[in-house]
Structure 1
Amino acid sequence: MPGMGIPELPVPDGLMLRPFRGVRFAVEDPAKVTSPPYDLISDADVDTLLRRHPNNVVRLILPCSDPSNSSPTPRTTDPAARPTAPTPPAPRAAVAQPAAVPLEARYTDARDTLRAWLDVGILVPDEASALYVYEQSGPDVLQRGLIGDVGLADPGRRIILPHEDVMPGPVADRLALMSTTQANLEPIFLLYEGAHGAATRLVDEVATKRHPLVTAHTEDGLTHRLWAITDEAEIAAINGDLHDRQALIADGHHRYATYRVLQRQERATRPIPRPNHPKRDHAAAEHAEEGRPLPAGGPEPSPAGGLVAPWDFGLALLVDSTAYPPDLKAIHRVIPGLPLDEATAKARGSWRVRDYDDLAEGLTALESAQEPAFLLAGGDGAHLLTDPDPVQLAHAMPADHSDRWNSLNTSILTEFILPRVWGMRDDEQAVRIVHHDTEAAVRLAARTGGTAVILKPLAIDEVLAVAAGGERVPRKSTSFGPKPRTGLVLRTFAID
C-alpha cells in the first residue's frame, strides 16, 4: 500500500464539495428505510428497523450474519411488482461478529443486497449530478447543510480538521464495508464557520423556496427534507465560498480516516477511470500537462498528472456552524466487570467522593460541580468524583500535550482515572461507549457487573481550540448533533 505522502494522490487546494449522482430509495415512506448512524445502532435497534421495513438501510451498513439468509432480493421483470426483500432473521450488528470471520466476508451480503436493490428499483440513481441541501427540523431543532463529495485532504493541510483520535477496529470494519460495496452509504458530519456566506444563503434560499425531493418524518420527531442543486453556476458559487474555509469533523472520524485509507488502497490496486464528459477530459489533460493541483471547482487531475477517481472523495454533510450552531452532548463510559464499590473505593485515594442514594441526586450534583467531575453509577447508588489530588493528577497527564488538552474531562479519564486509579487502558475491549443516555449507561453497568462513568459534555469552544492547535481529544469525547440520517441519499463509486 502506498505511503501517506505518495505524490500520485490528488491534493485539493481548498475545501470543496463535488456534485455526485445520488442513489435514493424508491419507497412510499422514505422514513421507514432510514436509520441512525451505524455506531448508534444496537442489536435490538437492528431488529426494530427491519420490522419497520425489510429494505431498511441497516441491511447495508450492518448486514445480517446468517449465511442462510444472505441471498439478495430476487430480480423481477414485472414493472408492476413492488420490489421487496425476504424478511431477515434476528440480526446482529456487524461490529459484533466473531473475530474469526474475515471482515470482507461480513460485507459480501451488503454488496449483493446493494446490487440487487439497484437492479430491481428499490434504489434508483438520480439523473444528474447534484449537491444536496439537507434540512432537519423539529421541536427546538433546525439544521441545514450541503451533502456532497468532499475532497480528501491530509490533516496537516489544515483544510479538514479532525479533533478526535480513532481506533483501528472501527476503521478496519468500515474499510471492509466501503471496499466490498464500493460505496459510501452514510455521510460524515462536517462543521465550518461560514459567516452566513454565499453557500449558506443559497442553502436557505433552496430550503425556503424550492420543492423538496424527499420529505421524511422519523420516529425521533424530526422532519428530514432533501433538495438537489444541479445548476453549475450555483455549484461554482458554493465552492467559491467554501474554498478558503476550514471544516471540523463533528461526527465520522473513523469514516474519514477510512476514506483516506481506502483512497490509497484503491489507487494501489485499481486503474483510475477517465471522466466521460469531453469538457472535463480536455480540462483534465490541460491541468495534468501544467502539473496544477486539483481545483476546488471540480475533480479533474491529480498533481502527478493522473485523473481523480471516486475514492478521492468521501460523502459528507457540511453545515455552517455560524448559522446553525450544533448541539454537543456527552458520551458516557461503562467498565464491565469493575464493580461500583471497587471503582469507588479505588477513587477515594485521589479524588473527593460524595455518595448519593439515587441517580437523579447524583446527576444534579454533577451538573453543578466544577470540572473535572465524574459520576460513578451502577446497580446501587451513585458517587460523585471531584477535586482530584493535584500532585497525582499532574504526574498522570502527559507533558507533550497542552494545558487545554490536559484539562478536558475525557483526557483526565483516559490518562488518570482509567490507567492510574483503575489499572486499565481506554480501549474497545475494556471500555464500552454509551451516547447521551445516562440511564442506558447505568443499566448496562448493572447487567455487566460494572461501573458507569457519567460525564458532562465538552464545550464547543474547547473542542475547536484543541483542533485548531493541532491536537485531538481522546476517542469518543464528543457527540455533535443533530446527526445526519442514514439512507436519505447514498453514493456508489460506479454511479458517481
Structure 2
Amino acid sequence: MNTTGPVDKGLRLIPFRGLRYVRERVGSLSAVTSPPYDVVVRPDGLHHLESADPYNIVRLILPQAATPEDRHHQAAATLERWLTEGVLAPDPEPALYVYEQRRGEVLQRGVIGALALSSPADGIVLPHEDVMPDVVADRAALLRTTAANLEPLLLTYRGDPDAAGGTAGVVERALGRAPLLTTTTEDGFAHRLWSVTDSADLAHIADDLAHRQALIADGHHRWATYLRLRDEHAGARDPAEPWGYGLVLLIDTARYPLQVRSIHRLLRGLPVDRAVDALTDAFRVRTVEGPLPEALGALADAAGTGNAFLLAGDGRFHLVDRPDEELLSRTVRTDRPAAWQRLDATVLHATLLDHVWRIPDDPEHISYLHDTEAAIVQAERTGGTAVLLHPVREDVVRELARQGVTMPRKSTSFGPKPATGLVMRSVTLDRGLS
C-alpha cells in the first residue's frame, strides 16, 4: 500500500488495486452494474438485476439466503468463485481512478480511492444523517466476511474553482487518455473510468486534499461500517493497515454541483384515510390535483413557506402543511439549531410518526424509497401510505454538518450516485501491498 504524501488534518486518499469485471467474461458492463444497495427497490428491482446477467453485482451487495450469516458467506463464496473463474480481476498496479458520469446536461467527475478513515471528532469527514444500528451491523458482517469494499461512498468537498492544478488538473489530464472502460447504464447515464498511476499526479492530489474536509453525500451506513471494522482490527490506525481505509468517490462540488433529492417513506400499516383522519386539528390537509409532477409542484410551493408533505396511496394526492405551532413546540426537540427544528424530516419523525401516527421507526413498519413513483406504487399495492418529501437545500445540510448536528436518517439523497460494480476494493489485496 502506497502511504507516501503529506499527513495533515485533511483528506488522505491513497491508490489501491481496483477489482474490476473482465469485459470478455460478462455479457456487458451495464448488465453487471447496479445502483447502490440501498437504492435497489426490492424485490422487483433485485429480481430485475439478478436476471440481467448471472454475474450482476447484486449477488455480492444483496445476496439472497435464509439467514444473514448464510447471505454473507454466500457473497464471500461468490466473490472468491468469480475471482477464480476470472470474471473479476485486480488491476496490475495500485491506482486512483478518475470517474465520469454524464446524462444530458448532468455531468459529474471525481476521484475514486481508498480514504484514510477519521472519527467525527476530527472534523475531516462530516456526516449529516443518523444511521440505523441494525443496518450498520448487517453491512459490517457482509464486508467483514467478504474482506472487500464492494461499492464506494459518495463524498463531496469544495475545491478552488479558479485553480488549474491540484486534483482538478489531474482529472482534466485524464480526460485526454483512453478510458479503462465506458458503458451506459439502464438509467441513461454514460460512465467512463481512467486510472491514475503517475507519481506526480498522485502527489498533486495528495497535496490538494491534505487540507480539505468532506461531507458524506451518500453512504452514511457504509461510513459507519468502515469505522466499525477499523475499530475491530488491532493496528487499524497504522497507515499500513488496510482496514484503516475505505472506498470512496470524492466530488469537487465547486466544479460539479450535485443534485439533491428527497428520500420518501412508505408506511406499510397505515392506510391513507387513517393517516389523513389523524391529522385533524394538527395540520391543514388538502386534496391536490395530479398527475404526479403537478402534485410535486404544489408540494414545492407549500414547502417554500413551511413544513409540507404529500400523502399518496389511495389514487389521490393529499397536501399536508401548516402544522399547529403548539404541537411542534411539544414534540420537536429544542436543544438543536433552529434550522434542524424546521427540517421536514425532523417534523415528520418527531411529530407525525412518533406523536400523531405512533409508528415505530423500524423496517417492519417503514421503508425508505428514493424513487417517487415506486413509493406510490408500493403504497397502492400494500394499502399503505407514501409520504413524499421536498428536497433539503445543500447549504442547509453542509452548515448543520459543520455544526456537528446530524439530520434524521434518510433525510436527503445526493446524486448522481456512482454505479456499483465498476470498481471494487479488496482488503486482502491491499494487505499484500503494505
Q: Which residue does the alignment assign to 1:35?
A: 34
> 8 Å contact 1:146–1:203 — kept in the other structure?
no
Alignment of 1:310 with 2:242, yes or no, is yes
2: CA distance between counterparts of 1:203 and 1:171? Answer: 34
**How much has 1:307 moved relative to structure 2?**
5.5
Alignment equivalent of 2:311, drawn from 363, 371, 376: 376
**How much has 1:430 moved relative to structure 2?**
2.0
1: CA distance between counterparts of 2:62 and 2:425? Answer: 17
| 1:342-491 matches, cutoff 5 A | 342-356=274-288, 358=290, 360=292, 362-369=295-302, 370-437=305-372, 439-491=373-425
Alignment of 1:171 with 2:170, yes or no, is no
2: CA distance between counterparts of 1:146 and 1:207? Answer: 11
Q: Which residue does the alignment assign to 2:63?
A: 63
Question: Where do 5+ consecutive residues of structure 1 fail to align?
Answer: 1-10, 66-96, 273-300
> 8 Å contact 2:157–2:214 — kept in the other structure?
yes
2: CA distance between counterparts of 1:139 and 1:400? Answer: 44
**How much has 1:357 moved relative to structure 2?**
5.6
1: CA distance between counterparts of 2:90 and 2:151? Answer: 15
> 8 Å contact 1:359–1:381 — kept in the other structure?
no
SS of the aligned residue for 1:14 comes to: coil
> 8 Å contact 1:133–1:206 — kept in the other structure?
no
SS of the aligned residue for 2:428 comes to: coil
Deviates more, 1:388-397 or 1:249-258: 388-397
Cα pair distance change 1:137/1:362, threshold 3 Å:
closer
2: CA distance between counterparts of 1:43 and 1:184? Answer: 24
**How much has 1:217 moved relative to structure 2?**
1.2
> 8 Å contact 1:144–1:203 — kept in the other structure?
no
After superposition, the C-alpha distances for 1:218-255 in whole angstroms (9 at most, x for unaligned) are 11111111101101221111011111111000000000
After superposition, the C-alpha distances for 1:319-371 in whole angstroms (9 at most, x for unaligned) are 00110000001111111121111111111221111123645454332121132
Q: Which residue does the alignment assign to 1:17?
A: 13
Question: Where do 5+ consecutive residues of structure 2 fail to align?
Answer: 1-6
1: CA distance between counterparts of 2:259 and 2:61? Answer: 25
> 8 Å contact 1:359–1:377 — kept in the other structure?
no
SS of the aligned residue for 2:151 comes to: coil
Cα pair distance change 1:307/1:187, threshold 3 Å:
closer
1: CA distance between counterparts of 2:212 and 2:289? Answer: 50
SS of the aligned residue for 2:38 comes to: helix
What is the letter of the counterpart of residue 192 of structure 2? R
1: CA distance between counterparts of 2:115 and 2:337? Answer: 30
Q: Which residue does the alignment assign to 1:44?
A: 44
> 8 Å contact 2:57–2:420 — kept in the other structure?
yes
Alignment equivalent of 1:132, drawn from 67, 92, 97: 97
1: CA distance between counterparts of 2:312 and 2:290? Answer: 9
Q: Which residue does the alignment assign to 1:230?
A: 197
> 8 Å contact 2:155–2:216 — kept in the other structure?
yes
After superposition, the C-alpha distances for 1:369-420 in whole angstroms (9 at most, x for unaligned) are 1321111111242211111111111121102111110001001101111111
**How much has 1:49 moved relative to structure 2?**
1.9
Give the TM-score normalised by structure 1: 0.81
Deviates more, 1:421-430 or 1:481-490: 421-430
2: CA distance between counterparts of 1:441 and 1:455? Answer: 11
1: CA distance between counterparts of 2:360 and 2:50? Answer: 36
Q: Which residue does the alignment assign to 2:4?
A: none
| 1:283-302 matches, cutoff 5 A | 302=237
Alignment equivalent of 1:323, drawn from 255, 270, 277: 255
What is the letter of the counterpart of residue 212 of structure 2? R
> 8 Å contact 1:12–1:151 — kept in the other structure?
no
What is the letter of the counterpart of residue 365 of structure 1? A
Cα pair distance change 1:383/1:359, threshold 3 Å:
farther
Identity of aligned residues (%): 47
**How much has 1:315 moved relative to structure 2?**
0.2
2: CA distance between counterparts of 1:114 and 1:371? Answer: 48
After superposition, the C-alpha distances for 1:427-466 in whole angstroms (9 at most, x for unaligned) are 33321111132x2212211222211111101111111111
Deviates more, 1:37-46 or 1:317-326: 37-46
> 8 Å contact 2:8–2:210 — kept in the other structure?
no
SS of the aligned residue for 1:105 comes to: helix
2: CA distance between counterparts of 1:54 and 1:447? Answer: 29
> 8 Å contact 1:259–1:314 — kept in the other structure?
yes
1: CA distance between counterparts of 2:243 and 2:91? Answer: 20
> 8 Å contact 1:158–1:246 — kept in the other structure?
yes
Q: Which residue does the alignment assign to 1:283?
A: none
2: CA distance between counterparts of 1:380 and 1:52? Answer: 32
Larger Rg: 1
1: CA distance between counterparts of 2:46 and 2:320? Answer: 36
2: CA distance between counterparts of 1:307 and 1:440? Answer: 44
Runs of 4+ in structure 1 over 4 Å off:
none
What is the letter of the counterpart of residue 37 of structure 1? P
Q: What RMSD, in angstroms, separates the aligned Cα atoms of the two structures?
A: 1.7
> 8 Å contact 2:8–2:211 — kept in the other structure?
no
> 8 Å contact 1:329–1:436 — kept in the other structure?
no
Deviates more, 1:203-212 or 1:160-169: 203-212
Alignment equivalent of 2:269, drawn from 337, 340, 343: 337
1: CA distance between counterparts of 2:353 and 2:398? Answer: 25
What is the letter of the counterpart of residue 54 of structure 1? P
Cα pair distance change 1:58/1:166, threshold 3 Å:
same
Cα pair distance change 1:166/1:309, threshold 3 Å:
same
**How much has 1:469 moved relative to structure 2?**
0.9
After superposition, the C-alpha distances for 1:288-325 in whole angstroms (9 at most, x for unaligned) are xxxxxxxxxxxxx95xxx56311000000000011000
Aligned pairs, number: 415
> 8 Å contact 1:60–1:111 — kept in the other structure?
yes
2: CA distance between counterparts of 1:37 and 1:474? Answer: 20
Alignment of 1:254 with 2:253, yes or no, is no
Q: Which residue does the alignment assign to 2:121?
A: 156
Q: Which residue does the alignment assign to 2:150?
A: 185
Q: Which residue does the alignment assign to 1:114?
A: 79
> 8 Å contact 1:330–1:477 — kept in the other structure?
yes
SS of the aligned residue for 1:355 comes to: strand
What is the letter of the counterpart of residue 301 of structure 2? S
> 8 Å contact 1:33–1:53 — kept in the other structure?
yes
